[in-house]
A and B are shown apart, each in its own frame.
Chain A
């Protein structure tokens, strides 16, 4: 393994020397962010190579408006909120789900199936599944909506905040942060959408897109492939995730997403409104749509005072540049979502990156 690392390091060093300028590569997957920190990958890269964390953590990209709708539903006595663990501590304008959990209105689940099971076991409550995440978790939400529909589980619905990766990449390059030279593309998402999906970024913006898994050696090799392309002045889609990611991805998973959801304009933390970037349940599943069922709307929220998570998510600043980082905002008492989620950029910096 070390031979491969050394070889990749050499490619990176040569390319950076040849380019003679700062090279900026953005990863857009929280699991990559954590792996980069946990394995100390930054420390083996040359100074001229900068790694930025982009909008890849599902909890972090979720807009404050959506969070506030979640809190509103959690305050209803007829609702039982089923959520992935990462969401529970995200602060809303008025407390977090954790503060509501003591009333018994919130349950942590590990899968969408667990949420549906919760609905079957609690027929007197409406179970609202907080469906967040990218193309990776959307199929699992679609499956339970179909299951609930065919079984007639009437007390189940989802609050879909599912997001798509490509529109966010386009929004970044289209003006938010065009300093990004290339993308380290997410492994899990690519399993679903296929590496070929990134061709539009390569074609329209001429940026290398390389898909990697989460082993450190894969990440370093992907960075080497990116550097090789940059120094050669080319931009291509490549995958170093072996057999796991195919060019076409998982057609069955995309089919079930398309059957249940339509793409609509949606709000992202930091990135604002992005056209056709969010998944909303189709009309025929409206009874399982918490937005429609409770008459609540996904509207842009107001970011919490002083919090610069939005800029962190766009790679415009590093966590240390936020005045709240490490003093008012820590994993114990997070202000913004990037400090809450275990895959959030600020949490990763706090856990692995700080020297003092």
Chain B
């Protein structure tokens, strides 16, 4: 006879015996490291340099499991990527879980396993954490917050202020994969989809670029709002304009088809394993070579360049048919179309 699955109880977050059991039996074994094992009130870290980057992000993705990833993998990669594009090497993460009463223990185990594997793959340690439980209905399964510390790479200064006319704009692969994968797997979307999120940690690749190529001016991960939002942030930051070519922007055919069907613009759609790099024109070729030698940069492309601003800073796109249009900052959540 199948027994009822083991579930999270409110008491698992109550600070008592159940809490400590959850932590010592389910969580700690997944993240063994010296700092965490101390179980102090704070993690004590020794860093090679005083110049650090520090970031935090919360993860509330729905569904919790999707093709190409899950909320745990996302929670590690997202924070790793924020550190990576700031020009640092990620070292340590915190992990805070807010779990809804009744959440299946087996799902929690799968998420923790995914966090552990992703952290290992990205060479970061989970050094401190917290677990809270809330009443049924007060959260949607599980929410995760991670904060991260990275050591800044020596001699790397990134910023929109460094960007100059003639700089090239590079991306490390196809656009829109994560956003369309999530949308197509949302409850209620009743079509089978081969779409897979691109969720991945970028630090290894960004560190390889920053350590080997001078002339990298700016990096950012085009997550919510996609490429369109990131490029608009760049032109607003530097006061210059950007010209990109649709022909050069790699998009998977299945992603394009889903976006067309649902009425979305791939340029506005989220990515979770991509960066946009603005680099000096002499550095572009070497950057592309390094990217293409890395599994996360096989489809890297130069998609355009930075140009003078005529009236206001703009992102302009040359379309496949040779037309031109402005790429606007996306306006919040797009809605599926009706016909």
A and B found bound together: yes
Cβ-defined partner of A133 (8 Å) among B317, B331, B338: B338
A5 contacts the other chain (CB 8 A): yes
Q: Are A356 and B311 in contact (CB under 8 A)?
A: yes
Chain B interface residue bracket vs A: 20 to 34
In the bound complex, CA of A259 to CA of B30 (Å): 63
Q: Are A137 and B338 in contact (CB under 8 A)?
A: yes
Q: Are A44 and B321 in contact (CB under 8 A)?
A: yes
Q: Are B336 and A40 in contact (CB under 8 A)?
A: no
Q: Are A41 and B323 in contact (CB under 8 A)?
A: yes
A354 contacts the other chain (CB 8 A): yes
Shortest beta-carbon distance, A260 to chain B, in Å?
18
In the bound complex, CA of A270 to CA of B324 (Å): 31
The segment out of A46-54, A80-88, A277-285 that lies at the interface is A80-88
B190 contacts the other chain (CB 8 A): yes
B312 contacts the other chain (CB 8 A): yes
B314 contacts the other chain (CB 8 A): yes
A217 contacts the other chain (CB 8 A): yes
Q: With A58-B338, A137-B338, A342-B334 as given contacts, are A355 and B321 in contact (CB-CB < 8 Å)? A: no
Shortest beta-carbon distance, B261 to chain A, in Å?
10
Within 8 A of A (CB), among B255-290: 263, 265
Q: Are B188 and A216 in contact (CB under 8 A)?
A: no
Most A Cβ at <10 Å: residue of B312, B314, B332, B338 = B338
B339 contacts the other chain (CB 8 A): yes
Main secondary structure of the interface of A (DSSP, over half): helix
Q: With A41-B321, A84-B336, A220-B321 as given contacts, are A351 and B189 in contact (CB-CB < 8 Å)? A: no
User: Per-residue CB proximity of B52-70 to A under 8 Å, as 1/0?
Assistant: 0000000000000000000
Residues of chain A lying within 8 A (CB to CB) of residue B326: 352-355
Q: Are A1 and B339 in contact (CB under 8 A)?
A: no
Residues of chain A lying within 8 A (CB to CB) of residue B337: 30-31, 84-86, 341-343
A239 contacts the other chain (CB 8 A): no
Q: Are A110 and B336 in contact (CB under 8 A)?
A: yes
Residue of B nearest to A356 (CB): B312
Cβ-defined partner of B323 (8 Å) among A44, A58, A87: A44
Residues of chain A lying within 8 A (CB to CB) of residue B190: 110-111, 114
Q: Are B323 and A42 in contact (CB under 8 A)?
A: yes
User: Per-residue CB proximity of B319-337 to A under 8 Å, as 1/0?
Assistant: 1111111101001101111
Q: Are B188 and A110 in contact (CB under 8 A)?
A: yes
Shortest beta-carbon distance, B179 to chain A, in Å?
15
Cβ-defined partner of B325 (8 Å) among A38, A86, A342: A38
A310 contacts the other chain (CB 8 A): no
Shortest beta-carbon distance, A276 to chain B, in Å?
21
Residues of chain B lying within 8 A (CB to CB) of residue A216: 319-321, 323
In the bound complex, CA of A351 to CA of B312 (Å): 16
Residues of chain B lying within 8 A (CB to CB) of residue A89: 335
In the bound complex, CA of A43 to CA of B339 (Å): 26
Cβ-defined partner of A352 (8 Å) among B188, B314, B328: B328
Residue of A nearest to B268 (CB): A351
11 A–B contacts, CB within 8 A, in A order: A30-B337, A41-B323, A44-B323, A85-B337, A85-B338, A86-B335, A332-B331, A332-B332, A343-B337, A351-B265, A355-B314
Chain A residues within 8 Å of B, Cβ to Cβ: 1-2, 5, 30-31, 34, 37-44, 58-59, 84-89, 108-111, 114, 132-134, 136-137, 188, 216-217, 220, 330-332, 341-343, 350-356
**Smallest CB-CB A-B distances: 3 pairs:** A40-B323, A84-B338, A85-B335
Chain B residues within 8 Å of A, Cβ to Cβ: 188-190, 263, 265, 311-312, 314, 317-326, 328, 331-332, 334-339
